[in-house]
Amino acid sequence: MSLAFEIRRLAAGDAADYRGIRLAALASAPEAFSSTYEIEATRPPEAFAERLEASVVYAAYHQDRIVGVAGIAPRLGPKGRHRGFLWGMFVRPDARRLGAARLLLDALLIAASDRFEQVTLEVAAGNMAALALYEQSGFVRYGTAPRALKSASGYQDEILMVKFLDPGPSSRPR
């Protein structure tokens, strides 16, 4: 079965939709994120709007309902600005395996190609579906962060991944 998804960049005015899917992600897959539902649920709506202004965030909609989200932000510091960091990838369970994650990732990589030379990400070591998606999209593993996340249920390792993008002719050595 395949659903038709609308992929669009979120703006500050979409903060309510973003907040809803972010809280759904933290409730549905708490082991996959560094934040928690309890922390994010107490944040004011303005905090979600600010996050949308600080990053490039795309959402997948199906029949006017937000079903997926993913963001990319620059690394901090003058020497790291050539790297983007992919964060917050999530698709609601009822919309998984229907292509939304691939469409979100493709949209982010297109947006990243104009701004970054590489994109990095961290993914929970046991998230085989996400690992497969990232590897199919050209990401390669370059390391592991052991015990990267700690929760009441224990530690979670993360796999570190990178995808090198074509920096364009103006960035190539001459």
Q: Are 67 and 58 in contact (CB under 8 A)?
A: no
Q: Which CA distances in Å does 86 have to 4, 6, 83?
A: 24, 20, 10
> What's the whole-number average pLDDT of the chain?
91
Long-range contacts (CB closer than 8 Å, 24 or more residues apart) made by 130-138 = 130/89, 130/101, 131/159, 133/101, 133/102, 133/105, 134/105, 134/161, 134/163, 137/102, 137/105, 137/106, 137/109, 137/163, 138/163
Q: Check residue 154 and give its pLDDT.
A: 85
pLDDT tens for residues 123-158? 999 899 999 999 999 999 999 999 988 888 889 899
pLDDT digits (tens, 9 = 90+) for 45-88: 999 999 999 999 999 999 999 999 999 999 888 888 899 999 99
Domains of the chain: 6-165 (3.40.630.30)
Provide the whole-model pTM.
0.88
Higher per-residue pLDDT: 167 or 138? 138
